[in-house]
Chains A and B, each alone.
With several copies, the nearest count.
Chain A
Amino acid sequence: MTPISQDPNPLALLERMMLVRAYERKLIGFHEAGQFPNVCTSVGQEAAGVGVVAALRPEDRILTNHRSAGHLLARGADPGRMLAEVMGRATGYCKGKSGTLHISAKELGVVLTSTIVGGELSLAPGVALAKAQLGEPGIVVCFFGDGAACEGIFHESLNLASVWNLPVLYVCENNQWQAYVRRKEAMLAERIAPWAASYGMESRTVDGNDVEAVLEAAAAAAAQVRETGRPYLLETWTYRQRSHMEPHDPSYLVPEELAAWAPKDPILRLTTKLKAAGLVDDAALEALEARVAGVIDDAAAFAQASPFPDFSELATDVYA
């Protein structure tokens, strides 16, 4: 698949968000059907991922985390190889050694994915340092959550990137939850963007459920990072619509909160807008639905037909 950034028009953005949603729904379906590896879905956060990645160039690097499907698919990852990785198959991006939690796809510039919350923050400055030192073009985008912002490494990473003038676009997806803990329980501030000031870094919070607003903000932020070679913190204000991981466990979620965010669903909002503008009609939407569903069905078939890694793989790839 091509990276969304090569054609970020509203319809393309919509289709890519629908593709991400279809991918996540497929995983949810597997769980509803029975035993399946735990996965953290990005349902509700599609705009935050797709909008940012749409602002990037091929030479840019992306570091992401455990909730990475939107970032990967927006970057053009093959959902078949992603699902194969989730299922631990040899055809996965990491030969099945990673599983869902830390899918890297170096060929797409999605590097060093870590499921250690904060791992992406600890690695990003070094990736940017290498670019700067080796004279390579491009910036580094680091996706992390509001929970990761509570880890000490957030403080260390932003401070170093600022002191060393490293081209890192930090993107905090503030989805109001940190696994089983509400963001409000973990910090007094509502927003994380203002924390950048401590490091002499600029920042901005954008409506993370409005994909066009996210794209605009990310494009502006990325342009500034390219131009200044200095880091920037972009916060996407969004919401995790499901429990921390599948299988879904609504027991600890907050019904009022879910209800309040439901109308802000990023796909719903863009479809409504495009319909109002006469850019899509129900038929077109159904066609889109069908197209992304087909892509994901084929991907699932590929993954399920893929072999598990050979036992000889157990202790390979440990040392270079």
Chain B
Amino acid sequence: MTQMNAFEAIGHALAEEMARDPRVLLFGEGVATKQKQLLEAFGPARVRNTPLAEGIIAGTAAGAAASGLRPVVDLLFSPFLCFAMDEIVNSAGKLRYISGGQFEFPMVVMALTGGGWTVGAQHNHNLEAWFVHAPGLKVVMPSTPSDFKGLLKAAIRDDNPVLFFTDIGLTFAPGEVEEGDEIVPLGQAAVRREGTDVTLISYAKTVHTCLQAAESLAEQGVSAEVLDLRTLKPLDEATILASVRRTGRLVVVHEASRLCGVGAEIAALVSEKAFDALKAPVVRLTGPDAPVPSSYPLEQAFIPQADAIAAAALRLMQTPEPVPA
């Protein structure tokens, strides 16, 4: 076990995977400048700066992935993905299917998003739901340094395009990380805290907000279970449904805007597959239907807060339970 933050965990994952597999390479705007140690370790052919052009960065990754390499590209901030949607969605996500299975696209697209740096709506836009909606892609968004490392290693080894989102609010938060080759398989949620009365489901930064809420709920005699999705696609339906079947109550929390977000998918999943177990309405606490403001107090207010989560859970405890006939 060593202490490191998310950035360091990402660096370790990249270094280990590049050392393990010569087909892995990293490129993006300034990565060779910023990841000096990787450049020194693996040389300019495998750690490359690019021109300022997200479309061709992602397209080159897709072409290379289909031709035997395993590229990792850093597109910096998630709104910049808007310049690479064709390459990610129409090419990497679809050409395997369109070609009748002739190609594979083992590639990872990294981007930062979320509040914390007051960078505003053109650097901070939680777009993960777009890639969950689009076929052929996988989506990862970790909440702890050890998951940043273990999930990035798994993403690099996956044979599909994986979107890897780093929550800006978590970048410098330290945490314990296993030494060596610890993989966190894609598609497995983590139960961060066990509970019996209500399930709080989230991912990335707001997992920690849910844990705070669970603390204060405990003080009020409510036992909250906290689930960390970790992978948004494929979703760990089994773990989600098992928890809600136990507790009968669900609050879904994320910073991304509400409409058609990941929270909507989870609420819909549960209201279809665990309906009989539900004792109360499924509640979502999310960012508003608005771009993210830069001003620090507003940027923070955009993010669901622990007290609001606890209050929502308490309200669910008060709803009269329907009794099955």
Contacts and interface: CB of A to CB of B under 8 A. Distances in A.
Interface of A: 37-38, 61, 88-89, 92-102, 104, 106, 111-119, 121-131, 133-134, 147-148, 150-153, 155-157, 159-160, 163-164, 178-181, 185-187, 252, 308-309, 311, 313-320
A156 B63 contact: no
Most central of B25, B33, B64 by chain A CB within 10 Å: B64
B296 A116 contact: no
B175 interface: no
Given A93-B100, A126-B62, A314-B298, A102 B56 contact: no
A94 B101 CA distance: 8
A125 B91 contact: no
B293 A314 contact: yes
A163 B27 CA distance: 14
Contacts of B135: 318
Interface in B260-311: 288-291, 293-298, 301-302
A130 B68 contact: yes
Interface stretch (B45-53, B196-204, B237-245): B45-53
Contact of B96 (A96, A125, A320): A320
Question: 6 closest pairs, A vs B, by CB?
Answer: A126-B63, A99-B294, A122-B59, A180-B30, A88-B295, A130-B67
Nearest to B159: A320
Nearest to B95: A112
B122 A317 contact: no
Interface size band for B: 35 or more
6 contacts: A96-B295, A127-B66, A129-B67, A152-B56, A160-B60, A315-B288
A134 B69 contact: yes
Nearest to B292: A97
A181 B33 contact: yes
Contacts of B34: 180
Contacts of A111: 66-67, 102-103
B123 A97 contact: no
Given A94-B102, A318-B136, 14 more contacts: A38-B119, A104-B95, A104-B103, A116-B80, A122-B62, A127-B64, A133-B46, A150-B53, A151-B83, A157-B59, A178-B29, A179-B29, A317-B100, A320-B96
B316 interface: no
Given A94-B98, A98-B294, A126 B65 contact: yes
B298 A313 contact: yes
B2 interface: no
A93 B295 CA distance: 12
B53 A152 contact: yes
A163 B101 CA distance: 32
Interface of B: 23, 25, 29-30, 33-34, 45-46, 48-56, 58-69, 71, 79-80, 82-83, 86-87, 90-91, 95-106, 117-120, 122-123, 135-136, 138, 159-160, 288-291, 293-298, 301-302
A122 B55 contact: yes
B53 A159 contact: yes
Nearest to A99: B294
A96 B51 contact: no
Contacts of A178: 29, 51-52
A115 B101 CA distance: 17
Contacts of A185: 49, 51
A69 B184 CA distance: 45
B160 A106 contact: no
A203 B259 CA distance: 47
Contacts of A98: 98-100, 120, 294
B288 A159 contact: no
Given A88-B118, A97-B293, A314-B293, A181 B29 contact: yes
A181 B103 CA distance: 33
A102 B297 contact: no
Nearest to B106: A320
B90 A119 contact: yes
Contacts of B301: 311, 314
Contacts of A97: 97-100, 120, 291, 293-295, 298
A106 B51 contact: no
Contacts of B293: 88, 96-97, 309, 313-314
A187 to B, nearest CB: 7
A309 B298 contact: yes
Contacts of B82: 116
Nearest to A147: B52
Contact of A152 (B55, B71, B105, B117): B55
A111 B98 CA distance: 12
Contacts of A318: 96-97, 135-136, 289-291
Contact of A160 (B50, B104, B123, B159): B50
Contacts of A121: 59
Contacts of B71: 126
B118 to A, nearest CB: 5
A102 B120 contact: yes
A81 to B, nearest CB: 11
B69 A101 contact: no
Contacts of A96: 100, 293-295, 298
Contacts of B118: 37, 88, 99
A186 B289 CA distance: 37
Contacts of A314: 288, 290, 293, 298, 301-302
A119 B33 contact: no
A299 B262 CA distance: 44
A96 B292 CA distance: 11
A95 B63 contact: no
Given A96-B293, A102-B122, A314-B293, A129 B64 contact: yes
A186 to B, nearest CB: 4
B97 A317 contact: yes
Given A88-B294, A124-B63, A314-B301, A320 B119 contact: no
